[in-house]
Amino acid sequence: MDVQIKKLEELSSAELLKIMAARIAVFVVEQQCPYQEIDSDDETAWHVWLQEGTDIAGYSRIIDKGDCISIGRVLTTKNYRDQGYGNLLMEKTLTEIKKRYTNLSVVLSAQEYAVAFYQSFGFEVVSEVYLEDDIPHVNMKMEK
């Protein structure tokens, strides 16, 4: 398993296409959620992914919001689920955040079913449940 962490300008065309294909497969196709998957945060984010051979097994992005760090687009691709890749991805993502941003809280918007997963890394729920693209979510936060 290879871990990659790059800014947009460091990504090859092939890497960018694989990342976008993985994100669209999970968030648009599997979750049947038509929305603008690619956004302006992609321009400044750190793109983190687990690569197994030529496959992307997992992906997340790290976004510096100024007053906090946001983790988003966290996914494990279909063929790699239930094998511990989600845990590995979060460990690598949080390690990168700790390395680059020492004094900022970390936030994320979690799908409700994944709350326990994020709590296992130290995140706490900080909002009521709300709908985002018709999927129940909560805001979560990990203090610095």
Q: What is the mean pLDDT of residues 3-8?
A: 97
Q: Where are the domains of the chain?
A: 2-101
Give the pLDDT band (50/70/90) at residue 76: very high
Indicate the pTM of the whole model.
0.94
Question: What's residue 103's pLDDT?
Answer: 87
Residues in the chain: 144
Of the candidates 119, 65, 61, the one whose C-alpha atom is nearest the C-alpha of residue 92 is 61
Question: What's residue 33's pLDDT?
Answer: 84
At the fourth CATH level, which superfamily is domain 2-101? Answer: Gcn5-related N-acetyltransferase (GNAT) (3.40.630.30)
- Given a cut of 80, is residue 87 above it in pLDDT? yes
Inter-CA distances, 67 with 4, 19, 84, 144, Å: 25, 27, 31, 11
- pLDDT (tens digit, 9 = 90+) per residue, 89-132? 999 999 999 999 988 999 999 999 999 999 999 999 999 999 98
Inter-CA distances, 59 with 66, 74, 75, 107, 126, Å: 22, 6, 5, 17, 24
Judge residue 47's burial from the number of C-beta atoms within 10 Å of its C-beta, 0-12 exposed, 13-18 middle, 19 or more buried. Answer: buried
- Out of 12-16, 32-36, 40-44, 84-88, least confident range: 32-36
Mean pLDDT of all residues belonging to the chain? 95
